[in-house]
Amino acid sequence: MQCDSYQGDWLKAPSDVLVIGLRDDWQTSAEIQSANEATGGMIARLIENEEASFKPLKVTQILQPQGIPTKLLVLIGLGSRDTSPTSIFYRGTAAALKSISVKQRSLVRMVGFHGSAIQIRASVAGAMAGCVGQDLFKKEKSQFQPDVIQWVGIDAQSVAMGTQIGQAINQTRRLVNLPPNYMYPETLVTETIAGLQGTGVEVEVWDKARLEKERCGALLGVALGSSKEPRLVIMKYLGADPNIPPTALVGKGVTFDSGGYSIKPTDGMLTMKCDMAGAATVVGIMTAAAKLRVKKNLVGVIGLVENLISGDAMKLGDVLTARNGKTIEIHNTDAEGRLVLADCLDVALQSKPDRIVDFATLTGACVVGLGIEISGLMSNNDVWQSEIKQCADECGEYTWPLPMHSFFSELIAGKVADIKNVGEGRYGGAITAAKFLEEFVQQCPWTHIDIAGPAFLDSAKPWCDAGATGTLVRTFVELFLKD
């Protein structure tokens, strides 16, 4: 799929599909009025008769419209010019492309997607994501990517940047959507290295022997039940003076989570290939940031394991020793992601970062509290947390802070070991998981992001196929693009 800037006469140049963004100011929009005049007033009549609408994500298709040399005209509602959030730009173009992806298209032309620099890049990225689904192994594909997408009136640099972000989102989605017999620690390492080729990112891989040498007892404990050996990957990107401390990105990479002896029910286990979405998010962010040559130093650390059951698997009541020396009582083998992250966070500290962020599909409790659209933010530093939330708001991705009061730490205090891997009872589960992680970041500014809700869709949306979404890749790429 190729994305290009187009500066020609879009009303006279032939296309397979012409997509026009429709806002509430359509009556004063030069582009809409030109298209309306060319079609003999058809667009105005459709709107007046409520057959087309500027309401967000409303898709209207007109086959072979009179006066425009296109096989299919698509109108996509973008809401209000003054108040539409960036999410409407991303989801609007995604919905439009998803609606036409039922067959192969040669040339799709996009008109009327004007806004801030972030909104324009979101539009391009959304179009790329909307026409890509989870049909990785279907003989008859469900969705087809157009050969070329042209963007009218958008400069080439903006199109190129949006394309890189869109590719990173789709890269993250593909890694998550691959089934667990294809995507396990070793193959995820292979995919990561392949995606980073030519970017200048330095990659270091720790195998089981190195993890044992590094005393990563928490991560290794999770991996005990699987025949697939664990891995830890360190990615380093230098976009600034090497003496400037990096930002560390840490990702949970449980490539399949059975729950261990605290076994999940079938319905809960079916989608657990998505439990490595945190690691895939880090890979996507690192890839896009490097290709866009952001002026930041970044370190990515991902811990990769399978959580399965065998005679060697960790048991309830076991005590593990993490890399930083803390001992951990295992009260629930399905609370495994925090064990993986514990050692990864400690490894990230050795790069002397000035701040850390981790991504993890960590708790169902966060989904219960915030729903499936919103990622939970938990932090030991209000400034860092606020910076993330502000950028997410600008990008139209949804996050919300949860409290981290000191008394939550009492709920993870151990009796046999220093700490235990779950809190007391059902309450505050997302927060007690974060308090557990806080034990492994020392005094470094750190924000934990629980993406359990928005990382994976159980059913399709108008703007995205079911499966992985690539949530927060855009937010962090845009954050790192800021000077």
Buried b (16+ CB within 10 A) or exposed e, 71-97: bbbbbbbbbeeeebbbbbbbbbbbbbb
pLDDT level of residue 55 (50, 70, 90 thresholds):
very high
Q: Which of 156, 157, 91 is nearest to 129 (CA)?
A: 91
Q: Which phi and psi angles does 237 have, rounded to 5°?
A: -125, 130
pLDDT reading at 80 higher than 90: no
Mean local confidence (pLDDT), 73-91: 89
pLDDT in the model for residue 434: 98
Residue that is written with structure tokens 């664990």 in the block: 230
Cα gap 250→234, rounded to integer Å: 9
pLDDT recorded at residue 425: 85
Residue % of the chain over a pLDDT of 90: 97
pLDDT greater than 90 at residue 82? no
Exposure of 309 by Cβ count < 10 A (0-12 exposed, 13-18 middle, 19+ buried)? Answer: middle
- The angle formed by the CA atoms of residues 220, 223 and 227, to the nearest 5 degrees, is 130
CA distances from 326 to 21, 248, 319, 481 (A): 55, 21, 10, 37
* Helices 337-349 and 429-438, packing angle to 10 deg: 30
Domains in the chain: ranges and CATH: 2-154 (3.40.220.10), 177-481 (3.40.630.10)
* Tokens linked to 415: 């009796």
Q: What is the pLDDT of residue 435?
A: 98
pLDDT tens column, 103-152: 999 999 999 999 999 999 999 999 999 999 999 999 999 999 999 999 99
* Arithmetic mean of pLDDT, 391-407: 97
Q: Tell whether the torsion through CA atoms of 321, 420, 440 and 365 is positive or negative.
A: positive
**Could you read off the pLDDT of 232-287 as tens digits, one per residue?**
999 999 999 999 999 999 999 999 999 999 999 999 999 999 999 999 999 999 99
Query: Is residue 81 scored above 80 in pLDDT?
Result: no
* pLDDT, mean of residues 452-463: 97
Cα–Cα distance, 121 to 10 (Å, whole number): 20
Q: What is the pLDDT confidence band of residue 83, given thresholds at 50, 70 and 90?
A: confident
Q: Which helix (H) or strand (E) holds 388?
A: helix 382-395
**What average pLDDT is seen over the chain?**
96
Q: Nearest CA to 21 among 165, 153, 157, 162?
A: 153
* Residue positions annotated with a catalytic role: 264, 338
Q: What's the token pair of residue 43?
A: 């667009």
Helices 156-177 and 185-196 cross at an angle (nearest 10°) of 170
3-state helix, strand, coil in the chain (%, to 5): 35, 20, 40
Count other C-beta atoms under 10 Å from residue 136's C-beta: 13
Q: Is the pLDDT of residue 397 over 80?
A: yes
Token pair in block for residue 330: 């295992």
Instruction: Give the mean model confidence (pLDDT) for residues 24-28.
Output: 90
pLDDT at 483 over 80: no
Q: Is the pLDDT of residue 84 over 90?
A: no
The residue assigned the tokens 């981790």 is 358
Q: How many other CB atoms are there within 10 angstroms of residue 390's CB atom?
A: 13
Token pair recorded at residue 426: 């059902």
Q: Decide: helix, strand or coil at residue 7.
A: coil
- Distance, in Å, from the CA atom of 60 to the CA atom of 447, rounded to the nearest integer, reads 41
pTM, to two decimals: 0.97
Give mean pLDDT, residues 200-217. Answer: 98
Query: Checking DSSP bridges between strand 15-23 and strand 107-111, what pairing results, if any?
Result: parallel
- 277-291 vs 156-177: helix axis angle to the nearest 10? 160
> Burial code of 438-461, b = ≥16 C-beta within 10 A, e = fewer?
bbbbeebbbbbbbbbbbbbbeeee
pLDDT value for 377: 98
pLDDT beyond 80 at 56 = yes
Distance CA 11, CA 398 (A): 37
- Nearest residue to 314 (alpha-carbon basis) of 325, 293, 328: 328
pLDDT tops 80 at residue 44: yes
Q: Which of these, 253, 288, 273, lies nearest to 358 by C-alpha position?
A: 253
CA 131 to chain centre: 16
